Structures are given as C-alpha cells and as structure tokens.
C-alpha cells in the first residue's frame, strides 16, 4: 500500500464518519463542526486528485465563509432542535427502508464496470511545474466564458432578490412617505358599518364607492395594508 492509498483511505473514512456525525449528533453546534470536518477531509481527497485549487477553494469558501455564517446562525437563533426532532423516530423505519432501497438501486446502477479502473484509468501525474490554477483559468475564461458569465449574472440576481425581499427602508425615519399616502385608499381609513343606507338612483359613483368599501372589508385578508 502506497502512502497515497493510506491517505485516501484514512480521509475517505473520516469523510463518511463525520458526514454521519452531521445527522446523528444531538448538539447542533457539534453538527456544524462535523460538517466542517467533512469539508476538510473532502478537500484532502481533492488534493490527492491534484485539484489543488478546488481543495483550497473548498476550505476557503465553505469552511471559511459559509460554515462560519452557519455557525453564527445556529448560535444566534434559538432554534428548539428537540421539538424539531419530534416524530423523528416514528419515521425512522420507513426512512431506513427507503435509504436501503435507494442504496441497492444506486449500487445496481452504478456498478464497478462503468466507473472502475478499466473504464476510467488513473490520470497521468503532472510535472512539478504544472499549475492547476492556470489551466483552470484558461478553460474558464475561454471555453466556458459563456457559462462563467451566466453564473455571474445568477449571483447578481441573488443579491438583487435578497435585498429587495429584506430591505424595508430606514426604520428610524419619521418623515412622510408620499407614495404610500398616494396609494392609500378610502377604505383603508374609513369603516362603514351600517349597510342599508338609502342611495339616490342617479348618483352612481357613490353607490360604487360604498359597495366597494363594504366588499373590501368583508373580503380582505388580514395584514394587507402596509
């Protein structure tokens, strides 16, 4: 057994064990830390494949940024995980059954012959001066520039979406809001309780408004007004 194989088996086992830990440990902070460990060991596996850039990016982006954010959220939000796990055991037998079924199905479909060493021979080792980042960059900015640009647009859309969904303006501001004043309709301020008022036949617009106001009140769902 070569050193590489030993490293592979050690970290492959670690990946699986820590991934199992993510879903089994009770403490949610420990679960997040288990996920960090999973990413780390996966990064080592990538390193073995000579994909140094991806390995570093995984550690920097996932471990450094995403998981730290995740840890913040878990610590700051008072999520009652015990109550979330209510009814968990009830579905365990069914869940295990489905998992085993899926595992057998996947094994049957993805048997060794397709992804074994015959079908996918070991890639040749690169020389010491081979730069992973350089070749990745060459591909990304030439062959895949179209996809790269679209991915950038997707990130832009996610920023626009997140801001437009959460931004509510400065809250401490006491000034008047002209657009909301313009949009305010009579039936938001005025509540007409009694219905059987006599209305002249020719005065159509008044009938209109009155009925509208009453219709609004009965049909409108709660929390509509801003």
Partner 1 sequence: MNIDLMPMLPELFLLTATCILLLIDVFSKDFDRLQTYRLAQLSLLITGVMVIAQFPDLQYHLYQRHFILDPMAGIVKVSVIALSMVGMMFARPYILQRPILRGEYFILHLFAVLGMMVLAGGGSLLTLYLGLELLSLSLYALVAMHRHSTLASEAAVKYFVMGAIASGFLLYGMSMVYGVTGKIHITDIALYLETHQASLTLRFGLVFMVVAMAFKFGAVPFQMWVPDVYHGAPTSVTAFIASAPKIAAFALVIRILGYGFEQVLIDWQGMLIIMATLSIVIGNLVALAQDNIKRLLAYSAIAHVGYFLLGIIAGTGAGYSASFFYIITYAIMSLGGFGCLIYLAKGKQEVELISELKGLGQRNPWGGLLISFLFLSMAGIPPFVGFWAKLEVIRAVLDVDLVWLAVLAAVMSVVGLFYYLKVVKVIFFDAPESEIKVKAERGLRLALGITGVAVVALGLFPAQLLEVCRQAFQYL
- Which residues of the shown chain bind partner 1 in the complex (CB under 8 A)? 108-110, 114-115, 142-147, 150-151, 153-154, 156-158, 160-161, 163-165, 178-180, 182-183, 185, 187, 207-208, 211-212, 215-216, 219-221, 223-226
Q: Which is nearer to partner 1, 26 or 171 (CB)?
A: 171
The distance of closest approach from Cβ of residue 177 to partner 1 in the complex, given in angstroms and rounded to an integer, is 9
Closest separation in Å from C-beta 90 to partner 1: 22
Q: What is the dihedral of CA 25, 28, 33, 39, to 10 degrees?
A: 80
For residue 216, the minimal CB distance to partner 1 (Å) is 5
How far is the first Cα of the chain from the last one, in angstroms, to the nearest whole number? 69
Q: How far is the C-alpha of 184 from the C-alpha of 191, rounded, in Å?
A: 14
Quote the Cα angle for 181-184-187, to 5°. 150
> Residue 10 or residue 79: which is nearer to partner 1 going by CB?
79
Which residues touch 21 (CB under 8 Å, ≥6 apart)?
Answer: 30, 31, 34, 37
Q: How far is the CB of 119 from partner 1 (least distance, A)?
A: 9
How many C-beta atoms surround the C-beta of residue 36 within 10 A? Answer: 20
Q: Please state the closest distance from residue 171 (CB atom) to partner 1, in A.
A: 15
Best CA proximity match to 44, nearest among 32, 65, 59, 30: 59
Whose Cβ is closer to partner 1: residue 125's or residue 222's?
222
CA dihedral 217, 219, 221, 223 (to 10 degrees): -20
Q: Which is nearer to partner 1, 20 or 112 (CB)?
A: 112
Of residues 37 and 58, the one with the C-beta less far from partner 1: 58
């Amino acid at each position: 057994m070569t050193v590489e194989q030993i490293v592979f088996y050690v970290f492959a086992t670690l990946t699986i064990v820590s991934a199992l830990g993510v879903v089994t440990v009770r403490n949610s902070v420990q679960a997040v830390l288990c996920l960090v460990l999973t990413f780390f060991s996966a990064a080592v596996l990538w390193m073995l494949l000579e994909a140094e850039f991806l390995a570093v990016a995984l550690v920097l982006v996932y471990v450094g940024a995403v998981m730290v954010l995740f840890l913040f959220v878990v610590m700051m939000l008072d999520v009652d995980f015990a109550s979330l796990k209510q009814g968990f055991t009830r579905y365990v037998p069914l869940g295990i059954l489905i998992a085993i079924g899926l595992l057998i199905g996947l094994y049957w479909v993805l048997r060794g012959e397709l992804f074994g060493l015959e079908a996918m021979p070991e890639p040749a080792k690169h020389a010491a001066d081979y730069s992973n980042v350089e070749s990745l960059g060459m591909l990304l900015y030439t062959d895949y520039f179209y996809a790269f640009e679209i991915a950038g647009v997707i990130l832009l859309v996610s920023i626009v979406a997140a801001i437009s969904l959460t931004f509510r303006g400065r809250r401490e501001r006491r000034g008047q809001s002209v657009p909301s004043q313009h949009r305010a309709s009579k039936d938001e301020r005025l509540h007409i309780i009694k219905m059987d008022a006599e209305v002249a036949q020719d005065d159509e617009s008044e009938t209109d408004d009155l009925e509208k106001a009453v219709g609004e009140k009965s049909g409108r769902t709660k929390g509509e007004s801003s």
